[in-house]
Amino acid sequence: MPSKELLIAHLKELISIAERSDSDQDALRRIRREGFFYPFWDEKFEYRLHCLNQKVDALLERAIPTCRMASEEGDNFVQLMTGVGTAARAEAIDYMRNGFSGAKQLVICDPYFLLSNNKNSKSAYLAGVDDVIPNTVKAIELYVKPRKRDAEVADGFTKLCQDRGIKLTCRKTDELHDRVWIVDSIRAFVVGASFNGLGNKCAFILELPEEDRRNFIREVGLLRERTTRSKSA
Q: Are residues 9 and 94 in the same domain?
A: no
Coil, helix or strand for 187? strand
Residue 196: how many CA atoms within 13 Å on its side-chain side? 22
pLDDT in tens, 90-119: 888 888 888 899 999 999 999 999 988 877
Q: Are residues 126 and 33 in the same domain?
A: no
Sign of CA dihedral 205, 206, 212, 215: positive
* d(C-alpha 2, C-alpha 37), whole Å: 10
Q: Are residues 29 and 138 in the same domain?
A: no
pTM of the model: 0.63
Number of structural domains, the chain?
A: 2
* 69: in domain: no
Q: Are residues 26 and 130 in the same domain?
A: no
User: Domain range for residue 48?
Assistant: 4-61
Q: In angstroms, what CA-CA distances link 173 with 145, 147, 177, 185, 223? A: 5, 10, 10, 20, 8
pLDDT in tens, 164-197: 999 999 999 998 888 899 999 999 998 887 888 7
Q: Are residues 133 and 190 in the same domain?
A: yes
* d(C-alpha 202, C-alpha 59), whole Å: 34
Q: Are residues 130 and 171 in the same domain?
A: yes
- Mean pLDDT by 10-residue block, N- to C-terminus, for the chain (233 residues)? 63 72 71 60 64 62 46 47 74 86 94 85 90 95 93 95 96 89 93 78 82 91 90 90
Q: Are residues 127 and 211 in the same domain?
A: yes
Which helix (H) or strand (E) covers residue 79, if one does?
strand 78-82
Q: Are residues 147 and 182 in the same domain?
A: yes
